[in-house]
Structure 1
Amino acid sequence: MAETPQDDGAYNDPSLNQSGKAHEVIPKQYLMAFVLTTCCFALWGFANDITNPLVKVFKEVFQISNTQSSLVQFAFYGGYFTMALPAAMFIRKFSYKGAIMIGFALYAVGALLSIPASLNANFWIFIAGFYVLTFGLAFLETSCNPYILAMGPPETATQRLNLAQAFNPIGSLTGMIIASTIIAPNLEVGDFRSKMESKSAEVVTYVTADYPEGLPDFDQEFGALDGAVSKGLANMKSKTPETFLAMQQHDLGVVRTPYVVIAAVVLGFLALFAFTKMPTFAQEVPDAPMGELAGRLLGKAHYREGVIAQAFYVGAQITCWTFIIHYGMEQVGLSLAEAQTWNIAAMVIFLVSRFVCTFLLKYVSPGKLLAALSIVAIAFTFGAITLPGKTGLCCLVLISACMSLMFPTIYGIALKGLPAEEAKLGSAGLIMAIVGGALLPLLQGKFIDELGVRNSFYLPLVCFVVIAIFGVRTFMRYEKESAVA
């Protein structure tokens, strides 16, 4: 029988189920804790989306392939997989609050590794920094998601988590805006691209040997522009290495600045949590052994399938957002800053849709809404693959309206009805599923190198098919079983 989370007798009031009143989404005694914990959702959203444009930036600044530059996302989301289970073990032994504080500390350390990485122009130190940073995010997500679920009646748990998750895209949007207004406009590789497009003599000399019949018409062949930029930078690196090194050092300094600032902000939140009293949801009975809990979790189909769906969802989300930049620059001919503006538009749509979907969950079951939006996402993804230019880019951006519901809803469905001891370990499994965001962008980067950016989006299309199947199974089976029970 599932235990009701308790904290000194809070909210465990039987009149809540007998008075005929609607269950509270956020009981008053948890309001402050809810607000502070919800800030964490914005903080990891910032980290996620200030990092996405770096896949393209590092490709040019370090002169590496799309596959190699996708290691940024592999390290970033691989950190979740590595640290989610240790985070769950920490929560079992100590508390949600303690795990959140450890998360802040690791977040700050990873962000500060951008200093030696940029000063030494070392791609691998950046990769190590992203890996450590996401150790912190793994602690935050493994603790904050079930913590929010516990802050009120189980009947409103999924709605409560969707509300908290609605603030995640605010952090993401902030990260995107900083990438667009502070990083992109100040990058010298971006200035190099603009000069190449205008065929400025200052940079054209770096590629004339590669185009003996004259430079191609960039207005008609934007793919050639991307190729010309890569060739020009490669030739600059070999022919005038001191010029390339100066450009590299400047651009890595631009990248470093926001990471140093966010490290300071995160350390401030660490101090705030240290001096704030938070609910503990302590249990009178110790948790069962890890092996027993794992066996019980894996025996529950809705949890097992939820972990699989979450892995595919995170992979789809990260590929769609990361490669909007590539799509806009290579298929439409946008600059990095312009392509990032489309990424910001996707996040605004995601943010608005998250609040709309939270409202719709009052009237539509999570499974039905998840299935419906997954089917629409499949249609938009197919449009991004088959439709030309800005029409395809618009389809790619509109996928975000469908994705807004998916992470917290899959999370809530997977943990629905689980006792607190199972929810702690179950949360770790769902956070480990974020490894989909490490593996699929790496695979899509390889597809871009070999098949082109447009055809690479068959990968997220398959992901949305998997999520749609999970949504259908949820409302056809799991929600019906819950209603009968």
Structure 2
Amino acid sequence: MDTSASSLADREPSELANVPAAVVPRRYLLAFILTTCCFSMWGFANDLTNPLVKVFKEVFQISNTQSSLVQFAFYSGYFTMALPAAFFIRRFSYKGAIMVGFALYAVGALMSIPASLNTNFWIFIAGFYVLTFGLAFLETSCNPYILAMGPAETATRRLNLAQAFNPIGSLTGMIVASLLIAPALNIGSFRDAVENRDPAAVQYLQAEYPDGLPDFATKFNALDQATSAGLKNMKATAPEEFLAIQTHDLAVVRTPYVAIAAVALAFLVLFAVAKIPDFRQPERDAPFFEIVGRLLARPNFREGVIAQAFYVGAQITCWTFVIHYGMEQVGLTLAQAQNWNIAAMVIFLISRFICTFLMHYVSAGRLLALFAIAAVGFTLGAILLPGKTGLICLVLVSACMSLMFPTIYGIALKDLPEEEAKLGSAGLIMAIVGGAVLPLLQGKFIDELGVRSSFYLPLICFVVIALFGIRTFTKFERPAVATDH
């Protein structure tokens, strides 16, 4: 069965002459560029939010498990809204869904204003939940929209190319967190004061350390524990001083969210006026449950959804808790630990472009399996090797993760007709709920087992992805290289 993405009407003249198909046909270039910008937009939100798990733990004086609710709310929004987004696309268009996505993105980001003014953790949580309603609309629409912008045989490469710009947004979010948020936080200044044994900070630690503070240089996690204890005692004995820290730090957190809301609204207007294709089908789609049944009968889709849930969980745990790892195992400050996160994202970005190139020569499933096996090895290094060596291993996991999301996505939707791709995209976006559940579990593991042992959780995820990759190229994958027709 032919689709709008692979019909003769959609093909370049070179394709009809048995020349390898273009990754992005010329007539879709404007739509491709605008849509690719969306990938950067949700990358920014994802990686601006990751460090807040650690920040909110101190600002609100809550446990790692409780602070992980930030990620739970953030990624639960995807699960909640992906299916409604698919219904919207079925009724209207990809372009309309993208516009709704930007509107919800802006509303969620602007909820940081009442949350910070009221020093209310739960309003922040609600804001992240609503913000990801918008991201669910964007991802549910943008991914299949990119797949539709050209021939089917280059669809996975095209999506990898578009997804390669997602880390640019992620990197921007990390840089904002590292250079603008972390240095401006009063909790960071308090941590420095504890490390330097400033009497203004040490006064809140006398009850905890009657014999004097430990040697922070030789005892991992001691500085982090002392900082938390000091802030806890300040909250109990000097609530006005602690409230001043809270108010200041939450205002610092609020600023980039207000800015990104303005950018989201600007993109909404841009898409409203741009003339780009919507790929509407003249005939009505088949009934919902009929399409779901057809999707579930396809092993590449069914297993792809499972693999995607494990991948997103692994990605979010590795990127969220690298902050904890750096601070607790290496004794870094928040800003220094975030710099390691930035290094991970730079590696991720470079690796994604490399993988897009390699897919012209190596099948997607085979490449996925190889990189997942490498990720297992690096994760074991983060678990078993102490200090900075383990941190380096954790950062190198990002090189392995770079191709996973778009490759699993492309394999799962391979050869699907348009009406199935719309709902199939929603299923894969709903799988992002793995990013809600696994960080919550890992936060609990950190509280009970320590940060290094908690990385057995993403290790299991990479094993599942490796198995999917192996099954993909042995059972139901065709070569990724375009062939003559």
Match of 1:474 in 2: 472
Deviation at 1:282, TM superposition (A): 1.8
Deviation at 1:208, TM superposition (A): 1.2
Query: How far apart, in 1, do the equivalents of 2:334 and 2:363 lie?
Result: 40
Query: How far apart, in 2, do the equivalents of 1:165 and 1:194 lie?
Result: 38
User: Structure 2: where are the runs of 5+ without partners?
Assistant: none
**Aligned 8 A contact 2:326 2:391 in 1:** yes
Over the aligned positions, Cα root-mean-square deviation in angstroms equals 1.6
Deviation at 1:52, TM superposition (A): 0.2
Counterpart check, 1:345 vs 2:343 = yes
Deviation at 1:16, TM superposition (A): 4.8
Match of 1:465 in 2: 463
Match of 2:79 in 1: 81
Number of residue pairs matched?
Answer: 483
Match of 1:65 in 2: 63
Match of 2:298 among 297, 300, 307: 300
Counterpart AA for 1:11: D
Query: How far apart, in 2, do the equivalents of 1:154 and 1:481 lie?
Result: 12
Match of 2:3 in 1: 3
Counterpart AA for 1:299: A
Equivalent residues in 2 for 1:283-298, closer than 5 Å: 283-298=281-296
Query: How far apart, in 2, do the equivalents of 1:482 and 1:374 lie?
Result: 18
Identical columns (%): 73
Deviation at 1:226, TM superposition (A): 1.1
Deviation at 1:260, TM superposition (A): 0.3
Counterpart AA for 2:293: G
Query: How far apart, in 2, do the equivalents of 1:238 and 1:115 lie?
Result: 26
**Aligned 8 A contact 2:359 2:480 in 1:** no
Query: How far apart, in 2, do the equivalents of 1:19 and 1:90 lie?
Result: 38
Match of 1:187 in 2: 185
Query: How far apart, in 2, do the equivalents of 1:12 and 1:68 lie?
Result: 52
Deviation at 1:285, TM superposition (A): 2.1
Counterpart AA for 1:103: G
TM-score (structure 1 length as normaliser): 0.98
Quick one: structure 1 residues 4 and 275, their matched pair in 2 at CA, closer, same or farther if it must change by over 3 Å?
Answer: closer
Counterpart check, 1:240 vs 2:238 = yes
Deviation at 1:480, TM superposition (A): 5.3
Match of 1:103 in 2: 101
Query: How far apart, in 1, do the equivalents of 2:238 and 2:478 lie?
Result: 68
**Aligned 8 A contact 2:5 2:152 in 1:** no
Match of 1:330 in 2: 328
Deviation at 1:482, TM superposition (A): 10
Counterpart AA for 1:273: F
Equivalent residues in 2 for 1:2-401, closer than 5 Å: 2-5=2-5, 11-12=10-11, 16-401=14-399
Query: How far apart, in 1, do the equivalents of 2:392 and 2:96 lie?
Result: 43
* CA distances 1:424-455 after superposition (whole Å, capped 9, x unpaired): 00000000000000000000000000000000
**Aligned 8 A contact 2:313 2:435 in 1:** yes
Query: How far apart, in 2, do the equivalents of 1:481 and 1:253 lie?
Result: 52
**Aligned 8 A contact 1:6 1:281 in 2:** no
Q: SS in structure 1 opposite 2:477?
A: helix
User: Structure 1: where are the runs of 5+ without partners?
Assistant: none
Query: How far apart, in 2, do the equivalents of 1:3 and 1:145 lie?
Result: 16
Quick one: structure 1 residues 107 and 482, their matched pair in 2 at CA, closer, same or farther if it must change by over 3 Å?
Answer: closer
* CA distances 1:66-88 after superposition (whole Å, capped 9, x unpaired): 00000000000000000000000
When structure 1 is superposed on structure 2, of 150-159 and 200-209 the one drifting more is: 200-209
Counterpart AA for 2:238: T
Deviation at 1:2, TM superposition (A): 3.8
TM-score (structure 2 length as normaliser): 0.98
Q: SS in structure 1 opposite 2:275?
A: coil
Query: How far apart, in 1, do the equivalents of 2:108 and 2:16 lie?
Result: 49
Query: How far apart, in 1, do the equivalents of 2:186 and 2:393 lie?
Result: 30
Query: How far apart, in 1, do the equivalents of 2:386 and 2:259 lie?
Result: 39
**Aligned 8 A contact 1:222 1:330 in 2:** yes
Query: How far apart, in 1, do the equivalents of 2:220 and 2:468 lie?
Result: 39
